Amino acid sequence: MPEPILSVQDLHTHFLTDNKEVPAVDGVSIELHKGEVVGIVGESGCGKSVTSLSIMQLVPNPPGKIVKGEIKFKGKNLTYATEKQMRKIRGNEISMIFQEPMTSLDPLFTIGNQLIEAIRIHQKVSKKDAKNYSIELLNLVGIPRASEVVDEFPHQLSGGMRQRVMIAMAMSCDPEVLIADEPTTALDVTIQAQILDLMRNLNKEKQTSILLITHDLGVVAEMCDRVVVMYSGKVVEEGSVREILKDPKHPYTKGLIRSLPNIRTTEQKLYSIPGTVMRPSLDQVGCRFAPRCEHSFDSCWEENPKLLKQESGRQVRCFLYDEEKSERGVTSNDKSYT
């Protein structure tokens, strides 16, 4: 396998709040290869967004800080990069689009103005060329009457159009990696599908690698090659989309998939995982999902489970798959499981 274009190794990003250190990202490792779409899934507050901001070195500091770990982009370690070096990478080689297309554009400037600005940060082109290129980009992302839209203000566009503009802006310098932080969450379902289509096309045509952050398993199923499931700052499961959706191993992933509404079942009530995400803390012992897990046994409360390698590149962080530990556990909860 070739060297990944972006690799995150054992990333720890902590936040200092009220004299307490909160490990928002606690030892996350992700690899992204050329032309690949990797999804990061998890519920609110599990560290998805902080992971993406860490990659861009945009974690607000203070209170946030990358305390440990390595972020390698094309062999360069970004954690050691200076602000100046980072600025050259941001938008140029790694681009990012955000959740709220409504607020991601400056309300005071026209679309063209902002696109031209974004283009001219990294490319030495005249304003006129930049404007023509902006129109080209807007056409590329499927905005009708692009030559007019360049002169319009953000409030004149719909949410879907603004998100297209954001994608156009992110694609303006042909980045090698696109980080999309819940790009479709604020949009309605039909627009969502269009935006996802657009991103998939860009991925196919330009071989842009995409790191897609979402809490929507449907989006993951549609877009991603591989998926990383996060819970409370840790990766709990990783594997190809197909296998994870078909055969989830970690109880949390199982719960997530069970809680999706299914058109075929006649169940009256939708399943939900009991309890809420606990706030990550440094002095916590045991599996973080244990309090909500229906299979938890003694070891789960006493030790941190390790990420276990499974067949075909899958990984799962659960004692149920640790042969030494789980003998007792699995047999004891097999009854309840069936």
Partner 1 sequence: MQKEEKQQVATNPSKKKHQMSSEEIEETSPLKETLQQLRKNRMAITGFIIIIFFLILGIFAPILTPYGFEDQDPVNRLMTPSAEHWLGTDDLGRDIFTRIAYGARISLYVGFFAVIGALIFGTLLGICAGYFGRWIDMLISRIFDILLAFPSILLAIAVVAILGSSLENALIAIAIINIPIFGRLVRSKVISLREEEYVLAAKAQGMKNGRIILYHILPNSLAPIIVQATLGFGTAILEAAALGFLGLGAQPPTPEWGKMLADSRDFLQLAPWTLIFPGVSIMLVVLGFNLIGDGLRDALDPRMKN
Query: Footprint of partner 1 on this chain (CB under 8 A)?
Result: 56, 58, 62, 86-92, 95-96, 98, 100, 103-109, 117-118, 121-122, 145, 147-148, 151-152, 156, 166, 169-170
Q: What is the rounded (10 degree) CA torsion for 56, 62, 68, 69?
A: 0
Let me know: does 70 contact 8? Beta carbons within 8 Å: yes
Which one-letter amino acid corresponds to residue 93? E
Q: How far is the CB of 30 from partner 1 (least distance, A)?
A: 18
Residue 3 has a CB neighbour count (10 Å cut-off) of 11
Minimal distance, residue 51 CB to partner 1, in Å: 14
What's the min distance (Å) between Cβ of 55 and partner 1? 10
Q: Which is nearer to partner 1, 133 or 271 (CB)?
A: 133
Asked whether the beta carbons of 29 and 8 are under 8 A apart, the reply is yes
144: exposed, middle or buried (Cβ count in 10 Å: 0-12, 13-18, 19+): exposed
106/334 with CB nearer partner 1: 106
- Report the interhelical angle of 159-171 vs 189-206 (nearest 10°): 10
Q: Decide whether 121 or 278 has the Cβ nearer to partner 1.
A: 121
174/303 with CB nearer partner 1: 174
Task: Tell whether the torsion through CA atoms of 157, 97, 248 and 329 is positive or negative.
Answer: negative
Dist CA 66 CA 52 (whole Å) = 12
Please measure the distance between the N-terminal and C-terminal CA atoms of the chain and give it in whole angstroms: 40
State in angstroms the smallest separation of the CB of 98 from partner 1: 6
Q: Rounded to the nearest whole angstrom, what is the least distance from the CB of residue 303 to partner 1 in the complex? A: 38
Q: Considering the complex, what minimum distance in angstroms separates the CB of residue 87 from partner 1? A: 4
Of the two residues 89 and 320, which places its CB atom closer to partner 1 in the complex?
A: 89
Closest distance to partner 1 from the beta carbon of 145 (Å): 7
Name every residue whose Cβ is closer than 8 Å to that of residue 319 and which is 6 or more positions away in sequence.
Answer: 287, 297, 299, 300, 303, 305, 325, 326, 329
C-alpha distances out from residue 23 to 58, 71, 238, Å: 17, 17, 20
Q: In this complex, which beta carbon is closest to partner 1, that of residue 154 or of residue 248?
A: 154
Q: By C-beta, is 2 or 144 nearer to partner 1?
A: 144
Please give the Cα distance from 34 to 115 (Å, whole number).
26
26, with CB counted inside 10 A (0-12, 13-18, 19+), is: buried
Comparison of 156 and 332: residue with beta carbon closer to partner 1 = 156
Handedness of CA 156, 159, 164, 170 (dihedral sign): positive
| Closest CB 108 distance from partner 1, rounded Å | 5
Nearer to partner 1, 52 or 253 (CB): 52
**Nearest CA among 71, 153, 144, 151 for reference residue 105:** 153
DSSP H helical ranges for 269-322:
298-302
CB of 280 to partner 1, least distance (A): 23
